[in-house]
Amino acid sequence: MTQTHDKTVESRPTVSLDMRRMILTNGVPILFLVLSITMALVAGLNITFLLNEVVTRLGRNSLLVLSLLIPVTAGMGLNFSIVIGAMAGQAAAIAVTYWRITGVQGFLLACLLSTPIAAIAGWLAGNVLNRAKGREMITSMILGFFANGIYQLIFLFLVGPIIPLKDPAMLLPQGIGVRNTVDLINISQALDKIWRPVIGGVRIPVVTLLVSAGMCVLIGFLLKTKIGQNLRAVGQDMHIAEVMGIKVDKTRIIAMILSTVIAGWGQLIFLQNIGTLNTYNSHEQVGMFSIAALLVGGASTRRATIWHAIAGVILFHTLFVVSPLAGQRLFGVPQIGEYFRVFVAYGIIAVALALHAWQGRQVRRQEIKEAMLTE
């Protein structure tokens, strides 16, 4: 092997090329950065207010967004069924509220409790998705809706007559079914208020942010282990991974279990921050908003990193905070801003999915071309 060949393989990019590539690969986050700044200026927002909101939301939402990373790595696309994990978290939150276990203990117990529920749900979801290879995303989305039906069945009709929960304050007037809102007084802010210094007018929920950071480290660690390598291999090509002796179905199920469990914890962090549980609504938008945030951060359906997740949460939620105010300022109609952010959430997912499909075809076309060139 001669030197000449190595050079062609490893081209050394120049600085200007680097810049261009950076802008190209980070087009989406840059666009949203510009959009957020413009809207913030239009809305004439107080910077401290904005920072407070964003930091709070970073703590509140990071874990949910991080829960999406592993299925992407395993090639299963965006896991819309993290709502199932969120439901597991809510079930646990309801339980500790009923048992009146307070503070950090209550929160930790809820996490502990949500884990087996989420793990079983994740195992089931993984099995379902293994039967729908190639259309995991739509299946996970429908799976989320389906699970929502089961969740409602349990909490509207089975709690009371079958599941013994006897606190009238938590039950609907007729004694069957959990109330629409549950005050999570016991675990409210349990994590946030441990240590919350104010720096430059911004309150920082240090422990919550540390938990998110810890999860980032854990996921980073996981991807450097044997199971991480298997996940990546399966994500690239199931067929090759199978031929090389990796148990593809099992690996994909593990990915779903991990994702669902992390989402359960994420929902608990979300709930302790909010302080109240909308029994039948809190989880509904979780999948969509987390996915939109991840995509705004520059991730795709095939590649998502921790940095995409963090940047995405910050950008998406900045937009979320400023757009109604910008709508009010610009058109005198705040709803325009609200609908705009709904549009952003849906639109970014639509665009990402379209790109995913389109790129998939380009790759295949390229492969065919290469195969023909070598003939």
Partner 1 sequence: MMPRLKQTVEHIGVPRLIIAGFLAIIFVIAYLTDMSVPQLITDSLVRVGMNGILVLAMVPTISCGVGLNFGLPVGVLSGLVGALISMERGLAGFPGLLAAIVFAVPIAVVVGYLYALLLESVKGQEMMVGTYVGFSTVAVMCIFWLMAPFKNPELIWAIGGKGLRFTLTLGNHFGKVLNNFAVFQLFGVKISGGLLGFFLLFCLLIYLFYRTKLGIAMVAAGANPVFARSAGIDVRQMKAVGVVLSTVLAAVGIIIYAQSYGFLQLYMAPLMMAFPAVAAILIGGASLQKATISNVIIGTILFQTLLTTALPVTSRVIQGDISEVARLIISNGMILYALTRPTGGK
Partner 2 sequence: MERAQQVLEMKGITKQYFGNTVLNDVSIDLYPGEIHALVGENGAGKSTLMNILFGMPVIHSTGGFSGEILIDGKKVELLSPAEAMQMGIGMVHQEFMLLPGFTITENIKLNRETTRKNALSRLFKSEFLDYLDTPAMRKDARHALDRLDMSIDEWLPVAGLPVGYMQFVEIAREIDKKEVKILVFDEPTAVLTETEADRLLGSLRRLAADGISILFITHRLDEVMAVADRITVLRDGEAVARLNKDEAVVERIAELMVGRRIEKVDLPPRDKEPGDEDLAFTIDNLMVDMPGEMVRGLSLSVRRGEILGIGGLAGHGKLGIANGIMGLYPASGRVSKNGDLIPLNSPEQVLLEGLAFVSEDRRGVGLLLDEPIERNIGVTAMQVQHKFLRPWPRFLSGLRLEDRKELRAYSEEMIRKLDIRCLGPTQPVRSLSGGNQQKVCVAKALALDPEILFVSEPTRGIDVGAKRLVLDLLVRLNREHNVTILMTSSELGELRKICDRVAIVYRGRLAGILPPDASDAEFGLMMAGRVRKEAI
- Where does this chain touch partner 1 (CB under 8 A) — which range of 3-11, 89-97, 328-336, 365-373? 328-336
Residue-wise over 22-48: b if at least 16 C-beta within 10 A, else e? eeeeeebbeebbebbeebbebbebeee
Interface mask toward partner 1 for 281-320; x: CB under 8 A: ----------------------------------------
Would you count residue 370 as binding partner 2 (CB under 8 A)? yes
E strand or H helix at 136: helix 136-152
Any bridge partners for residue 278, and if so which? 181
Phi and psi of 278, rounded to 5°?
Answer: -85, 95
Choose which of 46, 105, 180, 225 interacts with partner 2 (CB under 8 A). 225
Of the pair 131, 239, the CB lying nearest partner 1 is at 131
Q: For 272-284, give the DSSP string.
A: HHH-EEETTTTTT
**How far, CA to CA in Å, does 91 sit from each of 60, 63, 147, 361?**
18, 18, 13, 42
Q: In degrees rounded to 5, what are phi and psi of residue 276?
A: -130, 155
Interacting residue with partner 2 among 34, 163, 185, 243 (CB under 8 A): 243
CA angle 301, 304, 310 (to 5 degrees): 130
Instruction: Give the nearer residue to partner 2 in terms of CB position, either 9 or 169.
Output: 9
C-alpha 330/C-alpha 350 separation (Å) is 26
| Closest CB 188 distance from partner 1, rounded Å | 28
Binders of partner 1 among residues 141 to 180 (CB under 8 A) are 141-143, 145-146, 148-150, 152-153, 156-157, 172, 174, 176-177
Q: Which one of 243, 343, 363, 366 is in contact with partner 1 (CB under 8 A)? A: 343
Three-state SS for 315?
helix
Give per-residue burial for 171-207: e unless 16+ CB within 10 Å, then b: bbeeeebbbeebebebbbbbbbeeeeeeeeebebbeb
Task: Kindly tell me which residue out of 47, 120, 150, 240 binds partner 2, with binding defined by CB under 8 A.
Answer: 240
Contacting residues toward partner 2, per CB under 8 A: 1-2, 5-6, 9-10, 221-222, 224-230, 232-233, 236-237, 240-241, 243-246, 368, 370-372, 374-375
Contacting residues toward partner 1, per CB under 8 A: 128, 131-132, 134-135, 137-139, 141-143, 145-146, 148-150, 152-153, 156-157, 172, 174, 176-177, 331, 333, 335-336, 339-340, 342-343, 346-347, 349-350, 353-354, 356-358, 360-361
